[in-house]
Every structure is written in C-alpha cells, then in structure tokens.
Amino acid sequence: MATIRKRGEHQYEVQIRRRGFPTVTKTFLTKRDAELFGWNVESEIRRKVFVDGREAEKWTISDLVAKFKTDYAPHHYKKRDDGREAWKYQVSQIEKSLGKYSLAAIDQKLISKFRDDRLGEVEGSTVRKELFMLSKILNFGESECGIVLPRGNPVSKVRKPAEGRSRDRRLTDQEWTELAKECQASRNPYLWAAVQIAVHTGMRQGEILGLEWADVDLKRKFVQLRDTKNGEDRAVPLAPEALTVFTKMPRSIHGKVFPIPRITLAAAFQAARKRAKIENFAFHDLRHEALSRLSERGDFSVLEIASISGHKTLTMLKRYTHLSASKLADKLAISAK
C-alpha cells in the first residue's frame, strides 16, 4: 500500500510497503507525481514485473568503472608477455563518452550513439571490443555489485559493427593533392598540422591529440608518447617533414601541442574530406598511409616499422609486407648474381 506524506512546503514522499518486497521510497515536488509513482509501482508488484531501479539511479558509469578497475580487472586481466593491457584503453573510451550517465539512463539509443560516434574515429573491430567491454562492466554491476539494471543489459540489443577486414584505403596522388588543399583552407588552424603529423609519423589520432610540448624533443628528433593504446610508452622518431611542422606551430600556454578536442578535429577533417570529394576515408586511414609509405621505401625492416608504429606483434604488420614485395624481388635477384 502506498503512503504519501508531505515533507516541507513543496515535497511529497511516497512509500510503498508490500510483504516480500523491499520498501520503496521516493520524493516528488507534487502530490500528483507521488500518487502516479505509487500506483505504477504497486501495479508492477501485482503483475510481478517490478524492478527496483534506485541503485541504478545512484550509480554513474564512472562510479561502476572505478569499482571495476579495483575489484575485477586486476584479477582477470593480467599483463601479456608483451606487456599489453588493452582493457585500459577500452575502459577509458567508455568512461570518456558515457561516464557522466547514471546506469538507469543507459539504454539502446545512448549505446547506439556511442557506437556511431566511435566508428567515425576508429575501426569497427575496435568499437566491437569496446562494446563487449561495456557489456562486461554492466554485467559486473549486476552480478558483483547487486545493481539491478531497469532495462537489463542493453548492449546485447545493439547491433555490433562487423569484424570485417583491416582497412586498406589509400589516397591517389590526385586525392592527396585535393585533401591537402582543403585541409590548408580549413578554418581550424590545427587541422593541416595534425594531418601532416599523422602521415609522417604513423601516430594515432588520440596519440597526436594527447601530445604535450614537454613530450616533443626537436633537438633529438623524437616525441615521447605516454600510456598508449597498448598500455606502454613509446618514442616515435620524427622525419624532417614532421620536424618542420612542429617547428612552425604556435605553442599553447596550456602545454598541449593540439589544444582541441577530438570531436573538433574529426569534424574539421570530415568537412575537408567532403569538400575534396573523397569517399570512404577516415582520419585513422592516415596511419595506414604512413606505415604503407615506410614499407614501400624498402629501407626499413618490419621490426623497425613495428618500433615506429607501436604494433606489439609482427602478425599485425603482415598486411604491409606485400607492399614491398617487388623490392624484395629485386634484392633476391641481386643476391642470386
């Protein structure tokens, strides 16, 4: 039976007690809202479909992620032999996009938006892993923290990106000329510099945006990346073209090399790409372009390319080996003489 009491001048507390069920208490600004809540809860209890979502309202994704990091991850995600802790990167992306939302607000629509936003930044396989990680975090909340999700685990109801093949999209010389022209014409003063750094270093978008001037050593010609996607620091050598870009860039008083949010850079890049009339090309493809160019030069071994790119296994670089097959054939011809 629902009991309604006036609490203060503009507050009404409704309390529902029923044998065999936890007491439900909630406060509203109007008596009408309190009565509607009481009727709805009592109806759900009678129909045996009542779900107590109060705990889900109290917890945010950030709260649950913090507990997941301390209570679950250390016991289930050991460092591999190569030192990788990919789960940290996945969790950070989830928290960055969804951290402020309460668990009661997480629904299919919100998760679908997260998926679509991430697909504009990274490959489908990466987004799949992040969605599976989000599902695991929500399951942890239910099974280990006793939090009842009003909608269950909505990740299971959202379409996952296809695993697909690795992207091999590269620009033609004409496309590159048009893209360069439009990037330079952009109102965003950092776009062209970011594109050049990406194609001359092979760094990921997140790594570029995370750079601080303290990490850039122009004298020794390298940048130091902190806590990369693979969970390790990495030093990236700078080609002469990249050195020139860094030398000409203005320095922000905040210490960031690129003091702009990811969404701003992504929007500026997509606008330039559309003006250049280029289809099916994302900022992340610049990394593939950079590594392809290194492979085609023929004077870098796969190990050296892996050192620059941050790939932890040579298997992940296998798709670049075919690019220099003709150069390997030339070497075989010379050795046969």
165-182 pLDDT, tens digit each: 556 778 899 999 999 999
Is 140 found in the same domain as 104?
yes
% residues pLDDT > 90 (the chain): 29
Same domain, 242 and 261: yes
Q: Which residue bears the tokens 């299971």?
A: 156
What angle do helix axes 262-275 and 173-185 make, rounded to 10 degrees?
Answer: 120
> Which residue of the set 200, 287, 288, 312 is catalytic?
287
CATH number of domain containing 84:
1.10.150.130
Per-residue pLDDT tens digits for 241-271: 999 999 999 887 778 999 998 889 989 999 9
pLDDT at 156 over 50: yes
62 and 46 share a domain? no
* Residue 312 annotated to the active site: no
Q: Are residues 144 and 44 in the same domain?
A: no
Q: Which helix (H) or strand (E) holds 244?
A: helix 240-248
Q: What pLDDT does residue 233 have?
A: 76
Q: Return the minimum-mean-pLDDT range out of 32-41, 144-153, 252-261.
A: 32-41
- Residue 130: closest CA among 266, 229, 233: 229
Q: pLDDT higher for 149 or 172?
A: 172
How confident is the model at residue 83, as a pLDDT? 37
Q: Is residue 167, in this structure, part of any structural domain at all? A: no
% of the chain surpassing 70 pLDDT? 69
171 assigned to some structural domain: no
User: Would you state the pLDDT for residue 243?
Assistant: 94
What is the domain extent for residue 29? Answer: 2-50
Average pLDDT, the chain: 79
pLDDT of residue 311 exceeding 80, the answer is: no
Residues 187 and 294 in one domain: yes
Same domain, 22 and 105: no
Domain count, the chain: 3
Catalytic residue among 136, 273, 311, 312: 311
pLDDT digits (tens, 9 = 90+) for 97-133: 999 988 888 888 899 999 988 887 777 888 999 999 9
Q: Which tops the pLDDT comparison, 64 or 310?
A: 64
Q: Given 136, 284, 288, 312, which residue is catalytic?
A: 284
Residue 48 has pLDDT above 50, yes or no: yes
Helix, strand, coil percentages for the chain (3-state, nearest 5) = 55, 10, 35
On whether residue 168 sits in a domain, the answer given is no
- Residue where one domain finishes, among candidates 13, 29, 50: 50
Give the per-residue pLDDT at 322. Answer: 55
The phi and psi torsions of 247 (rounded to 5 degrees) equal: -65, -35
> Does residue 175 lie in a domain region?
no
Say whether both 70 and 142 belong to one domain: yes
Which residue has better confidence, 44 or 252? 252
Coil/strand/helix, residue 26: strand
The domain boundary, picked from 50, 71, 90, lies at 50
Q: Is residue 177 included in any domain, yes or no?
A: no
Rounded CA separation 130/86 (Å): 10
What pLDDT shows up at residue 80?
Answer: 41
Q: Is residue 272 part of a domain?
A: yes
pLDDT of residue 252: 77
Most confident of 155-164, 201-210, 230-239: 201-210
- For residues 94 and 139, membership in a common domain is answered with yes
The answer to whether residue 337 sits within a structural domain is: no
Identify whether 284 is part of a domain: yes
Instruction: Decide which of 141, 157, 173 is a domain's last residue.
Output: 157
pLDDT tens, residue by residue, 75-90: 776 554 333 466 888 8
Q: Are residues 71 and 124 in the same domain?
A: yes
Give the CA distances from residue 75 to residues 65, 78, 79, 129, in Å, rounded to whole numbers and listed in that order.
15, 7, 11, 19
Q: Does residue 287 carry a catalytic annotation?
A: yes
Would you state the pLDDT for residue 289?
87
CATH number, residue 278:
1.10.443.10
Token couple for 106: 């997480």
Q: Are residues 111 and 202 in the same domain?
A: no
Same domain (yes/no): 140, 245: no
The Cα 239–Cα 294 span in angstroms is: 11
Q: What is the mean pLDDT of residues 13-29?
A: 65
pLDDT value, residue 249: 92
Query: Which residue among the candidates 115, 136, 200, 204 is catalytic per the annotation?
Result: 204
Closest CA to 103 of 156, 154, 57: 57
Reply yes or no on whether 229 is catalytic. Answer: yes
The pLDDT assigned to 261 comes to 87
Lowest mean pLDDT among 36-50, 55-69, 96-110: 36-50
| Residue tagged active-site, from 12, 89, 190, 320 | 320
The catalytic position among 229, 234, 288, 312 is 229
Asked if residues 244 and 144 have their Cβ atoms less than 8 Å apart, the reply is no
Q: Which of 332, 306, 331 is nearest to 319 (CA)?
A: 306
How much is the pTM?
A: 0.52
Q: Rounded to an integer, what distance in angstroms lies between the CA atom of residue 237 and that of residue 220?
A: 9
302 pLDDT tier (thresholds 50, 70, 90): low
* 98-107, 144-153, 184-193, 199-208: least confident range: 144-153
Better-predicted residue by pLDDT, 21 or 293 = 293
Task: Please state the φ and ψ torsions of residue 168, each to the nearest 5 degrees.
Answer: -125, 20
Q: State residue 179's pLDDT score.
A: 96
Position 191 pLDDT exceeds 80: yes
Q: Given the structure tokens 């995370």, which residue do they identify?
A: 210
**Same-domain check for residues 200 and 68:** no
